């Protein structure tokens, strides 16, 4: 490492230590300062390191956490940015503790729009692709633009092994298949025949060859499932890692089987089973054993804003980040598994990091929550009026939807909620402020 990079590294670590002493987030600023002072710092910090990138629209943070936890069962040093800081500055910060003369493994969540920028400095050994859905249209554009950005990044690292979701049609396009991906999938259905449609309002269900609407044998959620074109030979790829049975699914636990072997995770939702499957597929490709993977999955803990359970005033508060229609629908499906009465808090902002256009809330199925025993509903954020109107249209309950200022009143709302079971659905910047107010 050059003298300049050594000095910049010391400065960045000092900034990180100071921020932690002040109880402030230390995931981005140290890396931001380091990059401003030394454009080669990423390259210098990456020596003697095996890199695994995790990218896609949804599930990056949870998959990164699953995989890092698993790999710690096998490797002595595993670095990660599991708090979700997935831009250049966050990745630099996560590598500050990389020992210069030891072999390490780094599991990095990488923003799908920034994989090209990261790829100019770091060459991944493995890249895991979770999914691609509509997300922040003002920033990402359509799903095909996102795929092109990812492929542009992959072109910078031709030696990388690609592990991709085989249930997503867009990942079977020729432009990605040229990288010879290893695919994983869920096949928990004995249905025969490709006669089903994807879920309403799904993305990427047009055959790339003949432009017909794809049909499905199984649909797990949205456009994910065992697909085939009715008019040509485009179909699901050959799958290496297949979940053949989901044995149990509740808000806080899931159990599934692959080739007769059981796996368990301490979170619910089919989308989180996909996240776990992504992680274990990478782990198996790295040569880990079943016992190591099983133990690692079982050690998974609360992750920043992803089914994050906290106790506030002796009440169970579950925080879920929501940022696009597909992700929100999966969170809604998870909440519908709840059997006890709940209080619902929805926070909606439209800052740049959230997406400036909030019309996506109308592409999501809040109406599914109508079957729950909801005792009270609260809305807040810069677009709380829009949020309130959307929930009124969903007709979830007969009471008044209460507006409040989450910065100054969230503690009072939680304390005075009518139940001890509170679900918070929040966009990104609102969640950051919420965590600050609750001192998480």
Supply the residues annotated as catalytic. Answer: 357
Contacts of 61 (CB under 8 A, 6+ apart): 82, 83, 84, 86, 109, 303, 304, 305, 306
Phi, psi of 311 (to 5 degrees): -110, 120
Strand pairing report for 401-403 and 374-380: parallel
Distance CA 397, CA 65 (A): 36
Distance CA 112, CA 102 (A): 29
DSSP string, 5-48: HHHHHHHHHHHHHHHHHTT---SSHHHHHHHHH-TTHHHHHTTT
Q: How many residues are there in the chain?
A: 440
Strand pairing report for 245-250 and 241-243: unpaired
Return the bridge partners of 224, or none: 221
Distance CA 328, CA 361 (A): 8
Other CB atoms within a 10 A radius of the CB of residue 368 amount to 15
Distance CA 255, CA 341 (A): 25
* Cβ 389 vs Cβ 301: under 8 Å: no
* Cβ 302 vs Cβ 309: under 8 Å: yes
Strand pairing report for 126-129 and 49-55: parallel
Distance CA 213, CA 198 (A): 9
Distance CA 12, CA 154 (A): 29
Q: With the C-alpha atoms ordered 224, 225, 230, 235, is the resulting torsion angle positive or negative?
A: positive
Distance CA 346, CA 341 (A): 17
| Residue 22 burial by Cβ neighbours in a 10 Å radius (0-12, 13-18, 19+) | exposed
Q: Detail the residues annotated as belonging to a binding site for Zn(2+).
A: 207, 210, 229, 232
Q: Detail the residues annotated as belonging to a binding site.
A: 207, 210, 229, 232
Phi, psi of 417 (to 5 degrees): -60, 150
């Amino acid at each position: 490492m050059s003298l300049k990079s050594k000095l910049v590294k010391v400065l960045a670590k000092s900034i990180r230590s100071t921020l932690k002493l002040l109880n402030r987030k230390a995931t981005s600023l140290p890396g931001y300062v380091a990059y401003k002072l030394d454009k080669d710092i990423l390259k210098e910090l990456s020596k003697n390191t095996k890199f695994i990138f995790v990218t896609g629209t949804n599930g990056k943070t949870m998959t990164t956490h699953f995989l890092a936890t698993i790999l710690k069962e096998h490797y002595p040093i595993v670095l990660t940015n599991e708090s979700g800081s997935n831009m250049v500055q966050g990745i630099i910060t996560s590598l500050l503790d990389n020992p210069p003369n030891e072999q390490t493994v780094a599991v990095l969540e990488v923003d799908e729009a920034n994989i090209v920028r990261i790829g100019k400095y770091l060459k991944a050994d493995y890249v895991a692709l979770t999914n691609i859905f509509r997300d922040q249209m003002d920033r990402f554009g359509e799903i095909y633009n996102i795929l092109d950005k990812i492929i542009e990044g992959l072109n910078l690292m031709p030696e990388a092994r690609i592990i991709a979701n085989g249930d997503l049609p867009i990942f079977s396009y020729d432009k990605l298949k040229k990288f010879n991906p290893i695919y994983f999938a869920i096949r928990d259905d004995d249905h025969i025949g490709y006669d089903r449609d994807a879920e309403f309002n799904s993305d990427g269900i047009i055959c790339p060859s003949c432009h017909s609407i794809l049909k499905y044998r199984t649909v797990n959620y949205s456009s994910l499932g065992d697909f085939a074109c009715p008019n040509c030979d485009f179909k699901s790829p050959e799958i290496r890692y297949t979940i053949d049975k989901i044995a149990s699914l509740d808000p806080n636990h899931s159990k599934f089987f692959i080739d007769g072997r059981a796996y368990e995770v301490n979170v619910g939702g089919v989308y989180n089973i996909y996240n776990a499957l992504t992680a274990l597929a990478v782990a198996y490709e790295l040569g880990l054993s079943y016992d190591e993977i099983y133990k690692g999955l079982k050690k998974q803990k609360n992750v920043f804003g992803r089914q994050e359970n906290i106790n506030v005033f002796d009440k169970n508060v579950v925080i879920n980040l929501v940022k696009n229609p597909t992700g929100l629908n999966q969170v809604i499906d998870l909440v519908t598994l709840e059997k006890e009465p709940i209080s619902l808090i929805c926070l909606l902002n439209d800052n740049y990091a959230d997406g400036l256009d909030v019309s996506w809330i109308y592409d999501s199925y809040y109406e599914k929550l109508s079957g729950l025993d909801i005792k009270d509903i609260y809305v807040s954020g810069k677009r709380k009026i829009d949020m309130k109107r959307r929930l009124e249209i969903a007709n979830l309950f007969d009471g008044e939807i209460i507006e409040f200022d989450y910065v100054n009143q969230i503690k009072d709302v939680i304390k005075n909620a009518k139940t001890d079971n509170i679900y918070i659905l929040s966009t990104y910047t609102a969640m950051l402020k919420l965590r600050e107010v609750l001192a998480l």
